[in-house]
Chain A
Amino acid sequence: MNALMREWQRYTPAERFGRWAAYFIIVLALVWAVRGIEIIPEFLTDAPEQMLDLLARMWPPDLGHYHPAVHQALIETLHIASLGTLFSFIFAVPLALMAARNICPYAGLNALAQLLLVTSRSVNSLVWALIFVAIFGPGAAAGTFAIAFRSIGFVGKLLAEALEEISPGPLEALRATGATNSHVILKGAWPQVAPAFWGVALFRWDINIRESAVLGLVGAGGIGVVLDDAINFFQWDRVATILLAILVIVILAEIIVTKLRARLI
């Protein structure tokens, strides 16, 4: 008899209560946040007007400003992004090997590597840039190091995850031939993670081009410096030129990365 009475419900009453409580907390947090940012109604109502005004000042862009000032800054931005990405590998690869539990069997070292990777990621590129501007002074060197230190955590974490997912069989087979650990990593692990590594590296380079465009705002070189200058002098037609240049370079980077990735993997 009981068998016929069975009922099925997706959630128990306790789970249902928990879900409603979670929704309630989310709404509460949203209300709190909106009150916190203190939107001034007058500014909100004339925002469309202000935006149109800004666009009118930007149009037409001062394309004559592109050469040489913006062009040189753009090239510098590319250098910062590329060198920064490259430098990040120097730390990211060893840290990833140290963080991957199947490669490095010492739990203490795994935790240390994870901590360093998290530290690198938890600090924004702009904050890294402020630190390195203080160390090296303003300029592209500070930007390059900011990009590198921010990228270590990103590349290292994703590479470590890729390493932990590789098949253990080939590693065991190479160990059985009498190979050293470094041989096993080189010939057993690396070929398995190489596509993931290049995918991550290209993706990070792509992100870094976008990030290095704003580093100039804190004096760390690149196109951000000329952008900051143009904004400070209210030269909105120049600002428009610079924004267009950034847009073009980001799209180009995207195209290059997509093509390269298709070839490498």
Chain B
Amino acid sequence: MTNGAVMQGLVIRNLVKEYVPGTPVLRGINLTIAAQGITAIIGPSGTGKSTLLRCINQLVEPTQGEIRLNGEDLVPLKGRALRLARRRIGMVFQEYNLVERLSVMENVLSGRLGYVSFWRAWLRRYAEEDIARAFELLEAVGLPEQATRRADALSGGQRQRVGIARALMQRPELLLADEPTSSLDPRTAIEIMELMTGLATSARIPLVVNIHNVDLARRFAQRVIGMAGGEIVFDGPPEKLEASHLRQIYGGEDWL
């Protein structure tokens, strides 16, 4: 907004997060993510990948730094302004995080909670177009017949499909996914990655995905970011990611 042209996409500058003062989990992350494309973040457990993703939609409050989504800095936002910003960011979780005792349809519609009043949500009076879109999304994620089933009756892969539909229900400008395939078997993991990357591409929104599986990162991402010790140690296309980088990211070499 400041210098005339609005910077599209996600711009992170000097992001620091300390859960305990003095021991930073993120040590000054600088990252620019274009307004489209698939970015995979790889790195060992506990290196701050989840924290980085959660700082973007402020589920975790950054200690310092700047996170601009299509020009607007999200870090100083509070209350209503923060909720309006979160509506623009969809998120998919490792444990799906569906509300188990609600139907698939209600879980998908809960992606619109930022837009409906408390009373409408209580009485389940969602807008017609929202319901139509929810059906479209259920079709898109391959669950056209499951709308009325309870979420706890679904398999892991089906649940993650619902999680993706819920995130896209927001019509987000950015899609985040935190280890979306870690709880799934290898084949389902690939199906979920295919689905998610396909839907993000056709919606023309950037997807940032934390992922443990380096092969999946190489296969689906156009850009891989390697993190170690709360810092970015590799940033480039998957073809450039070599054994030496993996050694630097994960340490050791016996496993390679």
Q: Which residues of A approach B to under 8 Å, CB–CB?
A: 169-170, 172-180, 182-183, 186-188, 191-192, 194-195
Contact A177 B93 (CB under 8 A): no
- Interface SS of A by simple majority: helix
B57: Cβ under 8 A from any A Cβ: yes
B149: Cβ under 8 A from any A Cβ: no
A sample of 20 cross-chain residue pairs with beta-carbon separation below 8 angstroms, ordered by A number, consists of: A169-B97, A172-B97, A173-B98, A173-B166, A174-B113, A175-B86, A176-B57, A176-B59, A177-B86, A177-B87, A178-B85, A178-B114, A180-B83, A183-B113, A187-B110, A187-B113, A187-B121, A188-B99, A192-B100, A195-B101
Chain B residues with Cβ below 8 Å from A188 are 99
B114 contacts which of A170, A177, A186 (Cβ < 8 Å)?
A177
CB within 8 Å of A: which of B148-162?
Answer: none
Chain B residues with Cβ below 8 Å from A179 are 83, 110, 113-114
Chain B residues with Cβ below 8 Å from A187 are 99, 102, 106, 110, 113, 121
A109 to chain B, nearest CB (A): 18
B93 contacts which of A173, A186, A191, A195 (Cβ < 8 Å)?
A173
Contact A178 B170 (CB under 8 A): yes
B107 to chain A, nearest CB (A): 9
B85 to chain A, nearest CB (A): 7
Given the contacts A176-B91, A178-B87, A178-B113, A186 and B99 also touching, CB distance less than 8 Å: no
The count of A-to-B residue pairs whose CB atoms sit within 8 angstroms is 78
In the complex, A187→B106 CA distance in Å? 9
In the complex, A233→B166 CA distance in Å? 70
A93 to chain B, nearest CB (A): 14
Contact B111 A177 (CB under 8 A): yes
Contact B110 A177 (CB under 8 A): yes
A170 contacts which of B86, B89, B97, B121 (Cβ < 8 Å)?
B97
B127: Cβ under 8 A from any A Cβ: no
In the complex, A182→B111 CA distance in Å? 15
In the complex, A88→B100 CA distance in Å? 28
In the complex, A178→B98 CA distance in Å? 16
B151 to chain A, nearest CB (A): 9
A169 contacts which of B88, B95, B106, B110 (Cβ < 8 Å)?
B95
Nearest-CB residue, chain A, relative to B172? A177
B255: Cβ under 8 A from any A Cβ: no
Contact A186 B97 (CB under 8 A): no
Nearest-CB residue, chain B, relative to A176? B91
Contact B101 A182 (CB under 8 A): no
A88 to chain B, nearest CB (A): 21
Contact A170 B99 (CB under 8 A): yes
A251 to chain B, nearest CB (A): 32
Please name the 4 residue pairs, one residue from A and one from B, whose CB atoms are nearest each other, closest first: A178-B114, A178-B87, A179-B113, A173-B97
Chain A residues with Cβ below 8 Å from B111 are 177
In the complex, A192→B121 CA distance in Å? 16
Contact A178 B97 (CB under 8 A): no
Given the contacts A170-B99, A173-B97, A178 and B84 also touching, CB distance less than 8 Å: yes
